[in-house]
Structures are given as C-alpha cells and as structure tokens.
Chains A and B, each alone.
Chain A
C-alpha cells in the first residue's frame, strides 16, 4: 500500500493545474488534494463543489493547511529568489563554478 508522503501527495494534487486553469483561492484549496484522496473520492465527472470540499478535507487531514495562505497568495518574490539562489549554489558546488 502506498504510504502518505507530504510532498509527493501535494504535488500530485495538482497545485499548478489548479492555479493555471482556474486561479483563485477555491482552486488552490482544491489543488491540495492528496493522491490517495483523489483516487478514493473524486471521479473525472465529479462536480467542482465536490472536488473543492474533498480538497479542503484532505488538506486539513494531512496537516497541510499551513500552506494555504501562501499557496493562495503565491509565495513572495523573495522566496522564489531564495529557491533559485540555493539551486544555483548547489549546482556550482556540484560541478564546480
């Protein structure tokens, strides 16, 4: 049986899909559905309301609700810059600057 994995299941919840296709807080919350919950509760033809409420429930259960404010508002420019700079530094250390 596949165990719960925070990052994997949040990624597979389709955060960017939610942002990209619908935008806004409801879509962001719906995008946090973990893979297991999606498989258990959501069929392709499920209504948006059902997807949204299952998304909120899954987010609360998996303890990822701390992300909601950041994902809804999108992380700040500074944090994105931090991600890029750490990556650049890791690559320089890895192969040589």
Chain B
C-alpha cells in the first residue's frame, strides 16, 4: 500500500534516500529542510522517522553477510557481530539525520519510537500471513531498541543480582541527592 504525502515532502525524502553516502544524504536533508515551507516540517519529520524505523527492521532482518558466530548482548538483546555493526552504522546515521531535521537527539529517539508504532500499525493492517520469521523477529528487536525498556537496565541493577549493582546503587543515590 502506497503512502501519500505532500509532494514537497516526498521530493525531499526521495532526494535524501537516493544519496549513496549517508553523510551526503543528511546534508541534502538539512538543505532541503531549511528551504521548505514550515507547515510541511512536521510531516517531513514524521515520514523520516517512520522510514528510519522501518529501515532498522529491514536492516536487522538482512541475512546477507550474516554468518553464525558468537552472539553479543547489546542493550539486553542478542545480536550477531554483523548485526551489531549494522546497528551501530544505523545509530550513527540517526544522529546526523536528527541534526539535519533540527531535532534534538532525545526528541528524535521519541519520534523514532512513534514512527515504529505507526509503521507496525500500517503494515499490520495490510499484510497477509506470509510475512517471514526474520521480519517478525527483527520487528521485535526494533521494538526492544526503540521502545521504553526498563527491564534489562533494572534487572542488571538489582542489588545482589548483578556485578554492576554497586554502580547502579551509586547512580540512584546521586540522582536522589540531586532531586532533594
């Protein structure tokens, strides 16, 4: 199902996506964003966040070049080294994309989360039962990465359960002190 947006927004998104170098793409995005009508900025950010979230799913599902090996735990999820490398490339690119759109990193993280939610609702309404296991798995991974996920962090932090408990205790104490 094709998505219809304002032609100016579509033109900017296409110009960004066709750049073969990620930094050049971010530069194009920043230039075109600066020149576009302000009333279309929200739609542009919404589009880019949803496309980036979908891109993360596709990237994690990409089987090319992924060889079985030692799994690494990154933010509480298990990934193969190739997937970690791709994820780090995506993450670094997101920093540039956020800057190009004039959005702070934390706000961009929230937009990505909202973009993922919109994407899942959209594809959920239109796809059949033939969706591949790899895509379903990478959707779950993307949800873990982009959603609020206190489990891994707090689990590690429970006193007596984690070697990092001491650091977590220190963090809590200092955060509490700061609030007082």
Contact = CB atoms under 8 A, between A and B. Distances in A.
B79 interface: yes
A14 B171 contact: no
Contact of B91 (A5, A7, A60, A89): A7
A3 to B, nearest CB: 4
Interface residues of B, number: 71
Given A6-B75, A60-B167, A75-B86, A90 B106 contact: no
Interface in A10-45: 10-16, 19, 35-37, 39-41
Contacts of B59: 82-83, 86
Given A67-B84, A84-B20, A5 B108 contact: no
Interface of A: 3-16, 19, 35-37, 39-41, 57, 60-64, 66-67, 70-71, 74-76, 78-84, 86-91, 94-96
A48 to B, nearest CB: 19
Contacts of A82: 59, 62, 64-65, 86, 89
